[in-house]
A and B are shown apart, each in its own frame.
Chain A
Amino acid sequence: MTSDNTNPNTLTTAHLRKLIAKGKLKDRIFQIIGMLFLTAGLAVIFLLISDMVMRGWDRLSLDFFMNFASRRALQAGILSAWVGSLLVMAVTAFAAIPLGICAGVYLEEYAKRNWVTDLIEINITNLAAVPSIVYGLLALGIFVYALGFGQSILTAGLTLALLILPIIIVSTREAIRAIPTAIREGSMAAGATRWQTCRYHIIPYAMPGILTGIIIGLARAIGETAPIITIGALTFIAFLPPMPFTEISAGVTAAPFDWLMSPFTVLPIQIFNWTSRPDPAFEANAAAASFILMAMVLTMNCIAIWLRYKLRKNIRWQN
């Protein structure tokens, strides 16, 4: 180690031993610090989950899932929130998955290297860094007022779809890039067109990787709160969106897609509402709802991580 001011000409074995011991001690100390920080980071997850379970355990019953929000903490439930979350997710998935996959396929398989492609690529990178609340402002200006979708499930779903589009595009591209050129050449040599090659070979082979991106994207979307508050989701909703083909009021039957235009609430907003109430009785509700949201998100993330892990182990393209 040159940091010590020892004259190299007079270095003895004893000196060297001392230097090495010192270096090793520093290594050891750093190793302990690193391990400590790492365990502290992981401990936060367990602390969070155990705290939620302890506070919210009493509230976690079937009634909690089947009751609407209420002014009385003990009767309040999350029915409208989880139904809303599911419906919004459905719209998000329906919009973001085809768009994301198609954009990823275009950029990997079709795009020529020119300034248009560069522009699109820089754009996607930049969109990933845009704060999520800005998407809320975008949706407020475009979807709610300019297009007249109102504060509906449709608006929320499309907003979240735009938000997670970069995630799906990037993971689609990565998955496609891992497929060797020989597959494309083989398919085209047999007379397939470029689209047929993509449709029957590239997309199916890349599917596990694409799926990982979709799941991570949806897990992100399900927990997003800020953009949904910005578009004006209500915090207190005691009804469900109209089911298709059922009677909403006397003599009026709901059309198949009426629910798209319905006001709604989602789990994160329900949690936000409960945490911002001064009455501590709602803390248990917030804990229980947080636990359910966290369980959903963590399960999705775990599936994604497992998929990625399995993928790396099993697929080995022969070159």
Chain B
Amino acid sequence: MKPNPKTNRLAHNARRHFGERLIEALLFITAAISVLTTIAIVYVLVSESIRFFQHVSLWDFLTDTQWTPLFDDAHFGIMVLISGTVVSAFVALSIAIPVGTTIAIYLSEFAGTRVREIAKPTLELLGGIPTIIFGYFALLMVTPLLQKFFPTLPGFSLLSAGIVMGIMIIPYITSLSEDAMRAVPMSLREGSYAIGSGKLHTAIHIVVPAAVSGLAASYILAISRAVGETMILAVAAGMQPNLTWNPAEPAATITSFIVQVALGDLPHGSIGYQTIFAAGLTLILITLCFNILGLWLRRKFREAY
């Protein structure tokens, strides 16, 4: 008997339909991995930190002025690590924000297409250099150079690590800020030129205010990078925990402390092992604060054309 072509086609369709559903489900799972990653990060950090806080009170963690978790006389004052983190990030940002913004304004408002086409990808190369190489750069080139001007500067310092971190961050700021400024419609600039403003005046009084939400976003990203940066600090800032607000001193940051502990041989489940998760949780909370601030800033200053 000849098969009925119609039912056959429908059977084929049903099979096809099943296969399609299966593939859609598989694709969904791959997309959901990002959510799983986040859940896993939170789970690992929080569960190990809970065990940590069973040994150490939160009050000690926040107020103690010493950080000696691996000594017999253990102290767990996270402010020590936070001070190093804040000082190095401050040094980095005070270089990266002015320089990065200036380059962005120059590229978006002054430079010709040719210069921009070449400069932007080349700057992106600067952002792609591995951070361990920047650490090498800070330790073996920038520190000796700074010591020529400030002979008292120690071999490890937050200053040279911060400066190099600033150089590393410049491309992020430039790239994002330039995109934001280029998105400002030409008519706004033309209006400004039409009443006789110069280029710089237009850039500062018209373009920058119009692009301020994009600029803020780039600064927030820069802060997150500076706070989370690890290898430059581990190599060039030294790893002695030191409660200081002076950039010319060596100090440990949250990230370099984690590296220091990971390099040693800590048994799984010991208090030292749990300490790095508490430090990691602090780090994540700090970056989270800045990300929320960034989101809020973007909402507040968003300009619609």
A residues sitting closer than 8 Å to B (CB atoms) are: 1, 3, 16, 19-20, 23-24, 26-27, 30-31, 33-35, 37-38, 40-42, 44-45, 47-48, 51, 55, 98-99, 102-103, 105-107, 110-111, 119-120, 123-124, 126-127, 129-138, 140-142, 145, 162, 165-166, 169, 193-195, 216, 219-220, 222-226, 229-232, 235, 268, 271-272, 275-276, 283, 286-287, 290, 293-294, 297-298, 301-302, 305, 309
Contact indicator A41/B103 (Cβ below 8 Å): yes
- Please, which residues of chain B bring their CB within 8 A of the CB of A34? 102-103, 105-107, 110-111
A-B contact pairs, 9 of them (CB 8 A): A24-B198, A34-B105, A103-B27, A130-B287, A134-B41, A141-B43, A195-B19, A275-B135, A283-B140
Given A132-B230, A223-B129, 14 further pairs, Cβ under 8 A: A23-B201, A34-B107, A47-B141, A106-B28, A106-B30, A133-B230, A141-B48, A223-B131, A225-B131, A225-B132, A226-B231, A226-B255, A275-B139, A297-B129
Of A98, A145, A166, A226, which contacts B268 at CB under 8 A?
Answer: A145
Q: Is B227 an interface residue (CB 8 A)?
A: yes
Contact indicator A111/B130 (Cβ below 8 Å): no
CA distance A167 to B31 in the complex (A): 13
Contact indicator A110/B34 (Cβ below 8 Å): no
Contact indicator B291/A126 (Cβ below 8 Å): yes
Q: Is B184 an interface residue (CB 8 A)?
A: no
Contact indicator A30/B200 (Cβ below 8 Å): yes
**Given A31-B110, A137-B276, A223-B130, A131 contacting B268 (CB threshold 8 A):** no
- Please, which residues of chain B bring their CB within 8 A of the CB of A40? 99
Contact indicator A99/B30 (Cβ below 8 Å): yes
Contact indicator B139/A301 (Cβ below 8 Å): no
**Given A44-B167, A106-B31, A229-B262, A271 contacting B280 (CB threshold 8 A):** no
CA distance A268 to B126 in the complex (A): 17
The closest CB in chain A to the CB of B263 belongs to: A229
Contact indicator B24/A110 (Cβ below 8 Å): yes
Q: Is B33 an interface residue (CB 8 A)?
A: yes
Of B38, B125, B137, which contacts A123 at CB under 8 A?
Answer: B38
B residues sitting closer than 8 Å to A (CB atoms) are: 16, 19-20, 23-24, 26-28, 30-35, 37-38, 40-41, 43-45, 47-48, 99, 102-103, 105-107, 110-111, 119, 121-126, 128-133, 135-137, 139-141, 167, 170-171, 196-201, 203, 221, 224, 227-231, 234-235, 255, 258-259, 262-263, 268, 276-277, 280, 283-284, 287, 291
- Please, which residues of chain A bring their CB within 8 A of the CB of B196? 1, 16, 19-20
Of A26, A135, A195, which contacts B198 at CB under 8 A?
Answer: A26
Contact indicator B41/A268 (Cβ below 8 Å): no
- Please, which residues of chain A bring their CB within 8 A of the CB of B37? 123, 127, 138, 162, 165
Contact indicator A134/B32 (Cβ below 8 Å): no
**Given A23-B201, A142-B44, A119 contacting B262 (CB threshold 8 A):** no
| Residue from A37, A47, A51, A107 whose CB has the most chain B CB atoms within 10 Å | A37
- Please, which residues of chain A bring their CB within 8 A of the CB of B45? 134, 137
- Please, which residues of chain A bring their CB within 8 A of the CB of B47? 141
Contact indicator B133/A271 (Cβ below 8 Å): yes
Task: Report the minimum CB–CB distance from A120 to chain B (whole Å).
Answer: 5
Task: Report the minimum CB–CB distance from A139 to chain B (whole Å).
Answer: 9
CA distance A16 to B197 in the complex (A): 11
CA distance A3 to B133 in the complex (A): 47
Of A44, A103, A126, A140, which contacts B30 at CB under 8 A?
Answer: A103
- Please, which residues of chain A bring their CB within 8 A of the CB of B106? 30-31, 33-35, 37-38
Task: Report the minimum CB–CB distance from B42 to chain A (whole Å).
Answer: 10
- Please, which residues of chain B bring their CB within 8 A of the CB of A3? 201
